Amino acid sequence: MTDTTDIKTEATATEATGAPEATTPVRGRGRGARGNDRRGGNRRAQPRERSEFEQATIEVRRVARVMAGGRRFNFSVSLVIGDKKGRVGVGLGKGADTALAIDKAARDAKKNMITVTRTKSNSIPHAVSAKYASSTVELIPSTGRGLVAGSAVRTVLEFAGVTDIVSKIHTRSKNKLTIARATVNALTTLHTR
């Protein structure tokens, strides 16, 4: 008789709550059997592998062109990459947004990378001067002075790992891309004596 009363109390409890007792796991939103949620699972963010080169943006320009519906904007990015051990490159990239332009500029800089001839004190073997477009750059070795340079010349020389040098920009132009490329041209003309 106790068995039937227990069954009746279970039945009345089920009727009162309106939900049957769950005996099997219910699949739905939330956490599944393996412990991963529907949106991401157990996927962990893969750490981006560090590049052997460091990079620095020297100039970002927003270029507008007038179309029938209004203005369209593009971005032009100039950047310098190098390993601070003698390898350096300057690149230019253009794209609809800055991230795309930076990726293109980095690829261009890696393509146009040079290896710089340096002395034991991380200076250059001799004085050199070079021109690119309207920019002329002069580089003079100077022991014990450190890196005395400005504008884009300093960035290029830092990423090339060159110290103890004095530089002079012989131009009225403020275009950092042409100054950086003139510096790279000067570094390519170096030779060991």
**pLDDT above 90 covers what percent of the chain?**
65
More confident residue, 192 or 168: 168
pLDDT level of residue 83 (50, 70, 90 thresholds):
very high
In this predicted structure, the answer to whether residue 187 has a pLDDT above a threshold of 90 is yes
Place of tokens 């500029």: 105
d(CA 103, CA 142): 36
Residue 17 reports pLDDT greater than 60 = no
Which whole number is the average pLDDT over 108-118? Answer: 94
Residues 179, 132: Cα–Cα separation, whole Å: 7
- Sign for the pseudo-dihedral over CA of 147, 150, 156, 159: positive
How far separated are the first and last CA of the chain, in Å rounded? 111
Helices within the chain (DSSP H only): 2-17, 98-111, 151-160, 176-188
Give the residues across from 131 on adjacent strands. Answer: 136
Q: How far apart are CA 141 and CA 176, in angstroms?
A: 22
Domain 54-188 has CATH 3.30.160.20: yes
Q: Phi and psi for 177 in degrees, rounded to 5?
A: -65, -45
Give the residue from 151, 82, 141 showing the smallest Cα distance to 113.
82
Average of per-residue pLDDT values in the chain: 84
Question: Which of these, 39, 73, 78, lies nearest to 60 by C-alpha position?
Answer: 78
Domain extents for the chain?
A: 54-188
* Predicted confidence band of residue 51 (pLDDT cuts 50, 70, 90): confident
Out of 42-56, 94-108, 120-134, 162-176, least confident range: 42-56
More confident residue, 51 or 1: 51
pLDDT of residue 39: 61
Q: How much is the pLDDT for 151?
A: 87
pLDDT of 64 reads: 95
| Averaged pLDDT, 170-179 | 93
Token code pair at residue 175 = 């275009």
The values of phi and psi at residue 8, to 5°, are -65, -40
